Amino acid sequence: MLNLTIFIVMLSGCAMAQPDHASKQTVQAIQKRLTTSNSKDILIISHRGDWRNAPENSLQAIRNCIAMGVDIVEIDIQKTKDGQLVLMHDNTLDRTTTGKGRVSDWTLDSLKTLYLRDGIGHSTYHKIPTLKEAMLEAKDHIMVNLDKCYDYFPEAYKILEATGTTDHVILKGYNKTVDEVKQYLKDYLPKIYFMPIINLDAPGAATTLDAFQKNMKPVAVELVFASDTSKVLSRLDVIKQRGSRVWINSLWGNLCANHDDERAVNDLAGTYGWILHKGANMIQTDRPAMLLKYTRLREGKK
């Protein structure tokens, strides 16, 4: 009986323990790093939270990122039938929950009767979080990248104000011009961090990038590219000198010319090493623990 008690106490201690790095993380420290555009310090972004160990876009996925020492957690936003903002990547429930149909056809109360599925489709005990619940979970511990939220941002901003987290988020926008962003976000700039997504394979990508940097000075630019032939990739240092960090995704091949997370399992130098050698100082990943270990070893940290 004594041995069983000791085992339970030891197990509880293991479950509660967090890395020293995580205990030192504060949003203010991450913000200071974020706004130092030309730094070689690498910011790590976890895509949909730590979805390999918890359901994507769940509160537990956010908690895991905080415990690991991830700098920014990316989450996706959908709107319910009764106008509530919830965490969900797809506009339907079928893949990630025990429900079916469009998120916009369900009220929040009805969504709360469902359960999230894990990465291989099994039902869990985790519930669909609201944006408010997610921001309270992240508050003071980790920054949040809001994806699929651009069209809902006026409603989202009210939640950020209510939770005291307006400075915790990076809002991203895709296929938007400088004038469109300025007009739509005129009531929120410069109170928020905004980041444009630039597809380097698209015609005029360099011109679009230059326009955002000249007229908006975004805190970061997210670059996506299926091919590594864009001349922009040879001048990432110029982008940083102009005041924006450079964000590259290692999620899958057509976002980073095949220098992606799955390749990283067997070829760290050809993936994360390649991205960092190009000059990126922000990486969004589906393998946060592996990338954190790689960057810490690269920087001579334990």
- Examine residue 288 and state whether it is found in any structural domain, yes or no: yes
Residue 299: per-residue pLDDT: 81
Residue 24: per-residue pLDDT: 65
- Examine residue 59 and state whether it is found in any structural domain, yes or no: yes
CA distance 110 to 116: 13
Task: Give the CATH number for residue 237.
Answer: 3.20.20.190
Residue 190: per-residue pLDDT: 84
Residue 288: per-residue pLDDT: 98
- Examine residue 3 and state whether it is found in any structural domain, yes or no: no
Torsion of CA 213, 196, 43, 139, to 10 degrees: 120
Coil, helix or strand at residue 200:
coil
Burial class from Cβ neighbours inside 10 Å (0-12, 13-18, 19+) for residue 210 reads: middle
pLDDT by 10-residue block (mean), the chain, 302 residues: 40 39 76 97 98 98 98 98 98 98 98 97 98 98 98 98 98 94 95 96 97 97 97 97 98 98 97 98 98 91 64
Residue 302: per-residue pLDDT: 58
Dihedral angle sign, alpha carbons of residues 55, 59, 64, 70: positive
- Examine residue 102 and state whether it is found in any structural domain, yes or no: no
- Examine residue 116 and state whether it is found in any structural domain, yes or no: no
Residue 194: per-residue pLDDT: 97
For residue 36, what are the domain limits?
Answer: 20-77+131-298
- Examine residue 220 and state whether it is found in any structural domain, yes or no: yes
Residue 25: per-residue pLDDT: 81
In the chain, how many domains are there? 1
Taking the model in full, what pTM does it have? 0.92
- Examine residue 126 and state whether it is found in any structural domain, yes or no: no
- Examine residue 208 and state whether it is found in any structural domain, yes or no: yes
